[in-house]
């Protein structure tokens, strides 16, 4: 084992990390999975511009299938991020819009996207270096 891997269980900054609350982590994991999901975030950011109908969302989110859009909208609605409103018209009309909680997610998503964009070159260089060393 190389010297740099000998202390993998010791964090170099133990006093700065909060104590891990494992039951809370188990509760938070599905939420992080939802907000870390590609389709969910594309839906949230598309709805940031205002309410949309299902087919409008499907058109605006390139590559999403009807099944995946339905699945993610239901999950976002269940988590309280999206509100579904049915209108008693002929044909029936359904609008989807962000809730206050959903709108509060937009700023962190934008910040993460900006971080990824700012660091894209460094990440790509790291990937190339890793792939070169893995091939040796």
**What structural domains and CATH numbers belong to the chain?**
20-134 (1.10.10.10)
Q: What is the pLDDT of residues 71-109, one digit of tens each?
A: 999 999 999 999 999 999 998 899 999 999 999 999 999
Tell me the two tokens of residue 134: 């893995």
Residue that is written with structure tokens 């309410």 in the block? 51
Q: What is the pLDDT of residue 1?
A: 47
Q: What is the pLDDT of residue 134?
A: 84
Per the omega criterion (within 30 degrees of 0), is the bond before 76 cis? Answer: no
**Cβ atoms 30, 75 nearer than 8 A:** no
* pTM of the full structure: 0.75
Q: What is the pLDDT of residue 69?
A: 97
**Cβ atoms 82, 76 nearer than 8 A:** yes
Residue 127, SS3 per DSSP: helix
């Amino acid at each position: 084992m190389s010297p740099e891997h000998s202390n993998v269980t010791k964090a170099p900054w133990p006093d700065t990390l909060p104590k891990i609350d494992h039951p809370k982590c188990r509760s938070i994991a599905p939420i992080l999975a939802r907000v870390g999901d590609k389709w969910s975030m594309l839906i949230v950011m598309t709805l940031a511009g205002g309410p949309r109908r299902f087919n409008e969302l499907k058109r605006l989110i390139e590559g999403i299938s009807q099944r995946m859009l339905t699945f993610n909208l239901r999950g976002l609605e269940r988590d309280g991020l999206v509100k579904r409103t049915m209108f008693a018209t002929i044909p029936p009309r359904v609008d989807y819009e962000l809730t206050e909680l959903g709108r509060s997610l937009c700023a962190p998503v934008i910040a993460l996207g900006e971080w990824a964009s700012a660091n894209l070159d460094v990440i790509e260089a790291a990937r190339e270096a890793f792939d070169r060393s893995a091939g040796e």
